[in-house]
Amino acid sequence: MAQGLVPEEIKILRASEGSVILVLVVVYAFADTIGEIILKGLRIAGRVLYIKKKAEELKTMKLINEQIVKDLSNYCTTPEGI
């Protein structure tokens, strides 16, 4: 049930001692490993998106600062600003 399977869908490969438990442990270990890989990939993707967002914010700040400098220099060269 934990894997989303009904009891009829679970295959028993051998009837010796511990074989059923061994098969389920291997499936769990595989699923756990794949899950960890996916989580680490998502964390990296999140960091990349965060860095890209910050880069865009810095570009915007630079453009705003350039506009402020331009406006101030225009203001200082006009008669009303002197």
pLDDT digits (tens, 9 = 90+) for 55-65: 999 889 888 88
For 10, the 3-state DSSP assignment is coil
pLDDT digits (tens, 9 = 90+) for 2-54: 566 665 566 665 556 555 566 677 788 888 999 999 999 999 999 999 999 99
* Overall pTM surpassing 0.85 (yes/no): no
The answer to whether 75 and 81 have CB atoms below 8 angstroms apart is yes
Sign (positive or negative) of CA dihedral 19, 25, 27, 33: negative
Q: Which amino acid is at 63?
A: L
**Where along the chain do its domains lie?**
7-81
